[in-house]
Amino acid sequence: MSIAKHKILIVDDEPDILELIEYNLNKEGYQVYTATNGQEAVSEAKRVLPDLIILDIMMPKMDGIEACRILRSMPEFKNTFMVFLTARSEEYSEIAGFNVGADDYIAKPIKPRSLISRINAILRRNAQAEEVTENKLEIADLVIDRDAFLVFKKGEKIILAKKEFELLYLLASKPGKVFTRDVILKSIWEDSVVVTNRTIDVHIRKLREKLGEMYVTTVKGVGYKFEAK
């Protein structure tokens, strides 16, 4: 999908912020829509089905975290990229954002050139995700074959244990998306009562030993993400 066809919804209760972001994204060729609170965001998102939503956290009527939670519960927004834009820098607000399904976090004050670069990078992740076939991922120099439970790095076969493979496949299925520990536990180990956060850490360490350090990134206090560098 070309940049000109990408639709972006900006949600912020500060008119100056909306105008600044809208102006710069329009210059890049994006189709831009706006809303001023969480309630408007949910309605407008259902109307235009954007590819990416930029949400402020602190807003009247409904804050960004609640709006994100509601949108993520709808099937049509399961794979929509959602980015929080906020002046709040406390770690707990970032964790809350990732816990309801945010893909990224951009702090105010806004630097237009930096913001555009970040948005372009996020939408490139989406293009990578769209190249994923049902049972095989080809990302960076990795081929991850779900049917054969095999991973190839630059053509060389890498042998992974079953849970290591499932963890890698989960993270690589959405490059750049932060997966919280709770989501990883539920997705990979389901309701096993013997699994702890330490189990995830051990499997991440084994993946890094076998694949190298460059693919799986730790997001402190939240979880992990796959980066196709």
Place of tokens 């991850």: 144
pLDDT tens digit at each of 229 positions of the chain: 444 578 999 999 999 999 999 999 999 999 999 999 999 999 999 999 999 999 998 898 999 999 999 998 898 887 788 888 877 655 666 677 777 778 777 878 888 888 888 888 778 765 555 555 457 788 878 888 887 788 999 888 998 888 899 999 999 888 888 888 888 888 887 655 566 778 888 899 999 999 988 899 998 888 899 987 6
What is the distance between the alpha carbons of residues 122 and 13, in angstroms, rounded to a whole number?
A: 23
Instruction: Identify the architecture of domain 136-226 in CATH.
Output: Orthogonal Bundle (1.10)
What pLDDT shows up at residue 97? 73
What pLDDT shows up at residue 188? 85
What pLDDT shows up at residue 2? 45
Instruction: Break the chain into its structural domains and give their ranges.
Output: 3-130, 136-226
What pLDDT shows up at residue 126? 59
What pLDDT shows up at residue 194? 60
What is the distance between the alpha carbons of residues 167 and 174, in angstroms, rounded to a whole number?
A: 12
What pLDDT shows up at residue 23? 94
Three-state secondary structure string covering the chain: CCHHHCEEEEECCCHHHHHHHHHHHHHCCCEEEEECCHHHHHHHHHHHCCCEEEEECCCCCCCHHHHHHHHHCCHHHCCCEEEEEECCCCHHHHHHHHHCCCCEEEECCCCHHHHHHHHHHHHHHHHHHHCCCCCEEEECCEEEECCCCEEEECCEEECCCHHHHHHHHHHHCCCCCCEEHHHHHHHHHCCCCCCCHHHHHHHHHHHHHHHCCCCEEEECCCEEEECCC
What pLDDT shows up at residue 1? 43
Q: Report the predicted TM-score, pTM, of the whole model to 2 decimal places.
A: 0.64
- Which CATH number fits the domain 3-130, given the four candidates 3.40.50.2300, 3.40.190.10, 3.40.50.300, 3.30.360.10? 3.40.50.2300
What is the distance between the alpha carbons of residues 129 and 123, in angstroms, rounded to a whole number?
A: 10
